[in-house]
């Protein structure tokens, strides 16, 4: 039997948490605290580096300012995908961060394309999740959950000058 993926190990910990009679639903932080305190989870050096990198990327992603035109929460950094050859000689997509103000046009174009694609994929995934819920889990006394995915009609107070 192949070894379980790290993701599957995390799902298994969630099941242990529930089986131990802990409150459910729960925040991921609560499940994580239980797993650590009960000795079910400990980080290896690679996991510590991965965790630090995730937190660093999150900080880069959240770092924003108001631009000279008054647009709120404009990101100061962008992550662009590049394909590199890894140590095994196989192509691998990795992400490089740069400051938007000093990054090359090509870097920012690749970063904006990736965010655009992710936004479309996220909207499609949300549409599927809502449709599946409505068709498979909706209680008879409840209305279907519906969202409008035409974002041109959304309020623009976060993008317009103050």
- Res 153 pLDDT > 80: no
Longest dimension (CA), the chain: 59
| Mean local confidence (pLDDT), 2-7 | 86
Geometric angle at alpha carbon 135, from 131 and 138, rounded to 5°: 105
Check residue 152 and give its pLDDT.
Answer: 73
Task: Please give the average per-residue pLDDT across 3-9, as a whole number.
Answer: 89
Q: For residue range 37-84, list pLDDT tens digits in order.
A: 999 988 778 888 898 999 999 999 999 999 999 999 999 999 999 999
Does residue 160 carry a pLDDT above 50? no
Cα separation, 76 vs 160, in Å, equals 18
Residue whose C-alpha is closest to residue 73's, from 65, 82, 81, 62: 65
Q: Cα separations (Å) of 130 from 52, 137, 140, 146?
A: 33, 10, 16, 7
- Residue 162: pLDDT band with limits 50, 70, 90: very low
pTM: 0.62
Predicted confidence (pLDDT) per residue in 94-129, tens digit: 999 999 999 999 999 999 999 999 998 999 999 999
Rounded CA-CA distance 154/145 in Å is 18
pLDDT at 20 over 90: yes
CA distance 135 to 144: 9
């Amino acid at each position: 039997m192949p070894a379980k993926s790290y993701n599957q190990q995390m799902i298994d910990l969630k099941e242990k948490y529930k089986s131990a009679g802990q409150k459910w639903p729960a925040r991921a932080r609560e499940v994580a605290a239980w797993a650590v305190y009960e000795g079910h989870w400990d980080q290896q050096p690679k996991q510590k580096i991965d965790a630090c990198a995730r937190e660093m990327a999150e900080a880069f992603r959240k770092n924003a300012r108001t631009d000279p035109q008054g647009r709120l929460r404009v990101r100061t950094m962008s992550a662009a995908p590049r394909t590199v050859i890894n140590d095994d000689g196989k192509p691998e997509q990795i992400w490089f961060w740069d400051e938007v103000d000093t990054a090359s046009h090509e870097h920012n174009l690749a970063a904006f394309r990736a965010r655009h694609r992710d936004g479309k994929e996220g909207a499609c995934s949300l549409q599927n999740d809502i449709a599946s819920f409505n068709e498979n889990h909706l209680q008879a006394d409840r209305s279907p959950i519906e969202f409008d995915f035409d974002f041109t009609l959304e309020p623009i107070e976060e993008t317009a000058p103050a």
